[in-house]
Amino acid sequence: MQTQINPWQKRIFRLSLILCVTCFLLAAFTLYAYWAEKTQTLERAKNQARQEAIHAAKKIDTQLRKLEESVSSIADDLTTGKLKDQKLLDRLKSTIEQNPTFYGITAAYAPYAYKPQLRLYSPYYAKKDGKLQLLQRTYDYTQSKKEDWYIRILAAAGPVWLESYFGTTSNTLIASFGTPFYRIDTKTQKSIPAGVVRANYSLDGLKDLML
């Protein structure tokens, strides 16, 4: 003898099943929505960080290119005679004033290349305590083993970035770019190195660009 199921029991069973399925679907949807939102948030954060890194890299590249172009322009003008020795100080000063991210800039002449009666001449404009100062080197940069930037730039025989170093005066990491300039030897009529132009960039300045 079959037991008859009360119609209300069928309805309750179906309703319970529907509610269970509905609750399961809601829970699954909520979990998926949470996971999707978390994933999207993570992706947005990654994309934002990626875009900020690209933007900072472009800003840094622009500033370093400016430094390269400024140094090369001064060296080329000294080589061709477009920039006279007497106007060098004005050119160095205006260059660093127009490029506030530069830390310092100099032109260092080979022995007796600036004047026959003057062995060395190396004016250096640098920012010290937030102020622009004109400094003169008191050591022989053509012989110095500790600060051999002059020798290394001449040896490169062209534009070169030097290894970064910690500047004791600036109390910061410094990156340097330099290139030689040339003159015609009156005896041999050949082009010979007459000195180097060099500019410094504080790596603290790069940090500021990344903010």
Calpha distance 137→28 (Å, rounded): 74
pTM over 0.75: no
Over 50: is that where the pLDDT of 3 sits? no
For residues 12 and 103, which has the higher predicted lDDT (pLDDT)?
103
Q: What confidence tens digit (pLDDT) does each residue in 106-129 have?
A: 999 999 999 999 999 999 999 877
Q: What confidence tens digit (pLDDT) does each residue in 179-204 have?
A: 999 999 878 888 999 999 999 988 76
Confidence of residue 1 (pLDDT cuts 50, 70, 90): very low
